Amino acid sequence: MEVEMAAGTVRAVGALKAPAAVAGTTMAAVLASFGSALLLERAAHLHADSVMQAVVLSLTLSRAHRGARPSDRLIGFAVLPAVALVSVGLGVLMRDDAFAGDAAFTALVTAGVWIRRFGPRFSKAGTLMMLPAIALLVIPHAAPGAPSTHLLWAPVVALVAYFWVTAVQVAMERPWRSDRSEAPTPAPSKRMPASTRMAAQMGVALCVAFAFGHWLFPHHWSWVVLTAFIVCNGARGRGDALHKGLLRALGAAGGTVLAAVVSGLFAPRDPHAVALIFVVLGAAAWLRQRSYAYWAGGVTAALSLLYGYFGESAVPLLQTRLEAILVGAAIGAAAAWTVLPFRTRDVLRRRTSASLAALTDVLKDEPRARARFEDSVAEMDAVYGPLRLHRFVTRARPHHADVVDVLRESVPHVRVLGPGVKGLRANVAAVRRVVARRHDGAPYRPLAPEEGAAAHAVDAALALIHAVYAPPPQEPKREPEPPERARPAG
């Protein structure tokens, strides 16, 4: 009992430390980027939008590039400034020719999603391709009357943000000491790649968002497009897209209420407002690990302070922003549900198969198998939110969200699990067949009592996974009664 209580305390402390460390790393990079961009702005006589671009890029890069390998980071130093330069031309085109600019923006972002099919390195490159373009939706590069010499500083600003994000994350993560496992190469499949489906959904969502944004919100259409992008980008199925749209709408609504409270507390150009903006962003980055709604609310409140800093009325803009977010969330979710849709539960099925395959290698005592098992279980966090919400609403038991729960709980037991537990290997194979919708081979049987506690804990997780994915027992078909035994009518 004392051991379990101590383990629970350690897990609780770790759960608090992990979000705090992520938020601290993020804000350290953001503040360093802010300071460097501020010095650059004064030295080169730039506008305040260059500083804001550095802050936006460092915020997005801190999340998108977390855990990147050193080789990928080196590639980013060449890719990001070049893409930032392209985004300057894209911003000018979107300002001067809305139709052509919107089409070019959609093509660039859709291509960044589509190339994920070629592996993790292309996924990172696709993310870097999109970040400067998405920053255009937050802070436009090409404001009317902006000198072209100022616009050409965008690659330098991007390089400053990327340098500080890389420096802070490398110092904190120490990748030269990392024991992360290499991601296995996915087996070829006859199915349409998920990246192709996601690219199609993104393309349709952006086209519709641009159309509705320009129609309903002529001066703030970018908020519709940005929300549609957020909902579709990386959405792991229909449920995940709907969940992200709901969280963004709820977060924006809460942020609007908070913004109405803090609006008017500071005079225009009050430096205390800038300090509070970073405090709000730091708290939002910390709470984001629990729910994206906190991040959406924090960004909305930070924008309120930013509007007040520049002397604009915040409340009317925030009401418009909330309406635009609702429209964009509806467009993004509708695209995920209607354009080449796939289910979040199917994504969970594939990731469960990968986790069980790694568990099989653990029982074979293959090198780095435990690290691959833990990595594959950690990847399930991306689909846990919508599944947990569905379980809460439906109250169904057993539920697919239970699969994530039991695999998480089995991680410490797998760490001490020894090889050669034959009954456990057989059960892993049986559950893998059930997850793959196969009905051949030996069925699942409970583990023998003489096996160790760790083996029984893992087997309990296998039993629940089997209960989730095993087909329900079919009732035996009743043979029709012969005519002579049939009861007379009437």
Quick check: 225 and 209 in contact, CB under 8 A? yes
Domain boundary among 342, 377, 410: 342
pLDDT higher than threshold 80 for residue 42: yes
Residue 474 has what pLDDT?
55
Per-residue model confidence as pLDDT tens digits over 206-231: 999 999 999 999 988 998 999 999 99
d(CA 71, CA 89): 28
Q: Tell me if residue 449 falls in helix, strand or coil.
A: coil
DSSP 137-176: HHS-SS-TT--HHHHTTHHHHHHHHHHHHHHHHHHHH-GG
Domain boundary among 284, 319, 342: 342
d(CA 151, CA 229): 25
Q: Which of 226-230, 267-271, 459-463 has the lowest mean pLDDT?
A: 267-271
Identity of residue 484: E
Place of tokens 């969200």: 401
39, 134: one domain: yes
311, 354: one domain: no
Residue 332 lies in a domain: yes
Report CA-CA distances (Å) from 46 to 107, 311, 317, 377: 30, 20, 26, 47
Residue 183 lies in a domain: no
Residue 3 lies in a domain: no
Residue 229 lies in a domain: yes
Quick check: 25 and 172 in contact, CB under 8 A? yes
400-415 burial, b at 16+ Cβ within 10 Å, e below that, comes to: bbbbbbbbbebbebbe
How many other CB atoms are found less than 10 A from the CB of residue 10?
11
Report CA-CA distances (Å) from 48 to 38, 51, 146, 210, 300: 8, 5, 12, 26, 19
302, 358: one domain: no
d(CA 271, CA 267): 9
310, 370: one domain: no
d(CA 286, CA 305): 19
Confidence of residue 477 (pLDDT cuts 50, 70, 90): low
168-181 burial, b at 16+ Cβ within 10 Å, e below that, comes to: bbeeebeeeeeeeb
Token pair belonging to 45: 């006589």
d(CA 428, CA 372): 16
Q: Which of 108-112, 363-367, 372-376, 464-468 has the lowest mean pLDDT?
A: 363-367
Q: Which of 74-78, 216-220, 293-297, 382-386 has the lowest mean pLDDT?
A: 74-78
Residue 87 lies in a domain: yes
Structural domain boundaries enclosing 463: 344-469
324, 224: one domain: yes
336, 407: one domain: no
Residue 1 has what pLDDT?
35
157, 257: one domain: no
Per-residue model confidence as pLDDT tens digits over 273-322: 888 889 988 998 888 888 888 888 888 888 778 877 777 666 677 788 88
The four Cα atoms 304, 305, 310, 311 give a dihedral, to 10 degrees, of 70
Residue 319 has what pLDDT?
80
Residue 303 has what pLDDT?
78
Domain boundary among 310, 342, 374: 342
Which position has the higher pLDDT, 184 or 68?
Answer: 68
User: 304 Cβ partners below 8 Å, 6+ apart?
Assistant: 255, 258, 259, 260, 262, 263, 314, 315, 318
202, 327: one domain: yes
135, 204: one domain: no
Residue 480 has what pLDDT?
57
How many other CB atoms are found less than 10 A from the CB of residue 194?
18
Residue 319 lies in a domain: yes
Quick check: 359 and 428 in contact, CB under 8 A? yes
> What's the number of domains the chain is made of?
3
Per-residue model confidence as pLDDT tens digits over 328-342: 999 999 999 999 998
d(CA 37, CA 150): 13
d(CA 8, CA 98): 56
125, 270: one domain: no
Q: Tell me if residue 302 falls in helix, strand or coil.
A: helix
Confidence of residue 66 (pLDDT cuts 50, 70, 90): confident
Quick check: 154 and 51 in contact, CB under 8 A? no
pLDDT higher than threshold 50 for residue 4: no
53, 168: one domain: yes
334, 414: one domain: no
